[in-house]
Amino acid sequence: MTVNRELLFIEPDEYTINGDLLKFTGQRVSNKQKILGYYRIRSEQEKAALQGIQHPLTVQVAGKVGPINAPTNQNEFNFQRYMLGKNISNEIQVTQLRSAASPPKLGLLRQFLAIFHVIRKKMIDHFERMPQPLGWFIQVLLIGYQSEQFQEQMDQINRLGLLYLFTLSGMHVFYLVAMIRFLLRQVGTTKETTDLLLLGILPIYGIIGGSSLGLVRSILMTWLHLASQRFGQWHLTGIETWSLVLLMNLFYSPVAVFSLGAQLSYLLTLILILSRQKKQWLTGLQMGAFTIPLVLRQTFVWNIWTIPLSILIGPIFDWLIFPVVIVGMIFVPFQLVCNGVLKILAAFFSWSSDLPGTIIFGKPPAIFILFWLGLLLACQVKPKKLLLLSCLLLSGVCAYGWIHLPLNDEVTYFDIGQGDCSLIKTRFDRQVYLIDTGGKLSFNTEKWQVRNSRTNGETVVVNYLHSQGISRIDRLYLTHQDTDHVGNFPSISQSINVKQIIVPVGMEQLASFQRRLQLSRVKPSAVVAVTNQVHETVPSLALQILHPFERGQGKNEDSLVLLYRSGKTNFLFTGDLDRANELKVLEKYPNLRADIMKTGHHGSKTASDPKFIQQVQPKLAIISAGRNNRYGHPNEETLVTLRKYRVPFLLTARDGMIKVILSKQGPPKLTTYGQMNIY
């Protein structure tokens, strides 16, 4: 990254504040390019001032500019590609932000468009002050804005496989057009005049509605259809309009079609076009079926209630959700009633999402997705539906087996930032072990600074486990008490069944550990404290415990040291063990050797004693550390030691996730995901 000074133009509806983080999309005044910006707010007063802004800003900023990072863990959400779909490829980490002393004059078009961005911002703030969840539903459905507080409800809807409820924006445009036609008809406006008004109103609504890809797709289809009816010699059919808009999308932003929202929007609109003569329940069934392959590819999870709810959701949306939202928005006396109805609906979604029936399927290969979509499309036109459905079921079973029955052992080191987290899973996923969970340190955070966000234990670790079809951890080894090793275990346990936790003896009594245990879904009886003399309640441990030798307090010097053997390959995990205790381990186990060793304490000079490295003789060292971390890890002294004994090393901050696949037929295969290099 390079340090730049930039003059940026920011619309009032193109920024969000989460705790002490300001995130915005701005346009460079110099070259009109869009850029993603982040700024850490310095005071509560500054935060209040930023929240009150309701007009466009031209700001002078200073900060580091660079490309948006690609994902560094396998199957991690590709934020870089998502932003490329919005034609944004660079970001700026802002260190200074102030209003421009002499902002340049805006062109007439920009001034005209700014009016509608101001209207949208005022609507966002107004709906935020309404009774909730009514205001949040209005924000999502009508102006394409999702409040942070609405995330829980959206997560529940997503778990039920009903993503398209808010991504298929054509429903909103359909209702808007129908409502405008009805109102204008009541005052005697002709159909021709109404169509002309709609041609002007729809682009404006596209801006106020947030300009999401799904909304723009729907508006363009409606606009082209109306224009061809009014002015064209050739009246476009639904499928012709759909195809033309798709081509326009591919020309303007081809990367956007990789997003799940775009895929659902285009695919389900196509199903609606093809199913116009069919009953609503059958259309709902088809839409639910078509979402499954795309949802599995992106989220790796399927809920058995998706299909029955897909049949119900059409009438629920038509006759309940949208009318209640419109009435609650327009008629203030009815807001409390409408809010109560939506509370009941939200409770129904919450209850439904907690029902048993979630299947951790895993990420199917792309060839299966294409095959399934082809079979479903064939069912639309072919008479032999039973044969096609049988092929669909059989291929689904094959894909499930392909994911859930891997033929090799695997050891994976996550890029978890400044922390540690490693995964061991054996052939056919018979045993799954996690060593530490990562976790983010917080330094004297005040209430106004707290951000609502998911932990990287969820976005990285749980996401990867689900992509591999894994729904449980047989044993979670927590090497010691530090937050960057154990902080994520409560959030991970909310989505993954943790059967047993292994900790160094003494750590189980710490107040910090007990607080985390209460926040998790792990029963206290599942916690086992151990020394190198393995507790008899932990039979047949696949990982040999080499340290600690006695009771401690869960500090660095008490870290678990673990040795895992797979075939002829030995893996050593040392937590944050210090040099003095590394030498004690050598005294206890003079023949200790490791092919792959995770260096202690993130490559700090307090670990990786030269004598320890010399005797263990690793063929490869793994260093888990965060990018640009405040501790300077890995320390140069440790790197000098590794070079002295000719130990090559990989660094998660540079190389991303590191995966080792172990095969009985050949040497281990090692893959890194920072640059997607294969060694």
Task: Compute the average pLDDT of residues 510-533.
Answer: 94
CB 405 within 8 A of CB 420: no
* pLDDT of amino acid 678: 35
For the cut 60, the answer to whether the pLDDT of residue 367 exceeds it is: yes
> Does residue 659 carry a pLDDT above 80?
yes
Span 501-524, mean pLDDT? 95
Closest Cα to residue 637, out of 606, 594, 599, 614?
Answer: 606
d(CA 306, CA 355): 12
In the predicted model, is pLDDT for residue 294 greater than 60? Answer: yes
Q: What is the pLDDT of residue 540?
A: 55
Q: Per residue in 1-54, pLDDT tens?
A: 566 788 999 999 999 999 999 999 999 988 889 999 999 999 999 999 999 899
Identify the CA nearest to 596 among candidates 623, 567, 569: 569
d(CA 134, CA 149): 12
Tell how strand 422-425 and strand 432-435 pair up. antiparallel
Going by pLDDT thresholds of 50, 70 and 90, the confidence category of residue 677 is very low
Q: Which residue has the higher pLDDT, 256 or 572?
A: 572
Which pLDDT value is given to residue 517? Answer: 96
- Exposure on the CB side of residue 560, measured as CA atoms within 13 A: 32
CA gap 600, 608 in Å, rounded: 6
Cβ burial 227-263 (10 Å sphere, 16+ → b, else e): ebeeeeeeebeeeebbeebbeebeeebebbeebbbbb
* Secondary structure (3-state) at 14: coil
Residues pairing with 671 in the sheet: 659, 678
Does the domain spanning 2-104 belong to CATH 2.40.50.140? yes
> Burial of 452 by CB count in 10 Å (0-12 exposed, 13-18 middle, 19+ buried)?
exposed
pTM of this prediction? 0.92
B/e letters for 502-541, b = 16+ CB within 10 Å, e = fewer, are bbbbbbbebeebeebbeebebeeeebbbbbbebeeeeeeb
- Please give the helix or strand (H or E) that residue 304 lies within, else none: none
User: Could you give the count of Cα atoms lying within 13 Å of 455 in the half-sphere of its Cβ?
Assistant: 23
* Three-state SS annotation for 145-175: CCCHHHHHHHHHHHHCCCCHHHHCCHHHHHH
- Phi first, then psi: what are they for 26, rounded to 5°? -120, 165
**173/218 Cα distance (integer angstroms):** 7
Read off the pLDDT band of 164 (50, 70, 90). low
SS (H, E, C) 69-97: CCCCCCCCCCHHHHHHCCCCCEEEEEEEE
**Whether pLDDT at 559 is above 80:** yes
Give dist(CA 182, CA 462) in Å, integer: 49
Sequence-distant (≥ 6) Cβ neighbours of residue 634 within 8 angstroms: 599, 602, 603, 604, 623, 625, 651
Q: How confident is residue 171, by pLDDT bands cut at 50, 70 and 90?
A: low
Higher pLDDT: 256 or 408? It is: 408
Q: What is the pLDDT of residue 430?
A: 93
Per mean pLDDT, which of 174-183, 341-350, 535-544 is the most reliable?
341-350
Please give the residue that has the higher pLDDT: either 576 or 264. Answer: 576
Q: Are 438 and 488 in contact (CB under 8 A)?
A: yes
Task: Report which of 598, 596, 660, 652 is spatially closest to residue 629, judged by C-alpha positions.
Answer: 652
Number of residues that make up the chain: 679
**Mean pLDDT within 71-97:** 93
- Report residue 541's pLDDT band, with 50, 70 and 90 as the boundaries: low
Rounded Cα distance between 303 and 658, Å, is 31
Span 575-604, mean pLDDT? 95
Is the pLDDT at 259 greater than 90? The verdict is no
Structure confidence at residue 165 as a pLDDT band (50, 70, 90): low
**Given a cut of 50, is residue 103 above it in pLDDT?**
yes
Residue 397 burial (C-beta neighbours within 10 Å; 0-12, 13-18, 19+) = exposed
Q: Stretch 474-490: mean pLDDT, rounded?
A: 96
How confident is the prediction for the chain on average, in pLDDT?
89
In the 8-state DSSP scheme, what is residue 664?
Answer: S
Mention the CATH class of domain 409-444+454-672.
Answer: alpha beta
**Any residues with CB less than 8 A from the CB of 132 and at least 6 apart, and which?**
149, 339
Looking at residue 676, what is its pLDDT?
Answer: 40
Q: For position 551, what pLDDT does the model report? A: 94
pLDDT tens track for 408-459: 999 999 999 999 999 999 999 999 999 999 998 776 778 898 888 889 999 9
The DSSP call for residue 531 is -
Strand order in the sheet with 501-504: 527-530, 501-504, 475-477, 432-435, 422-425, 409-413, 658-662, 669-672
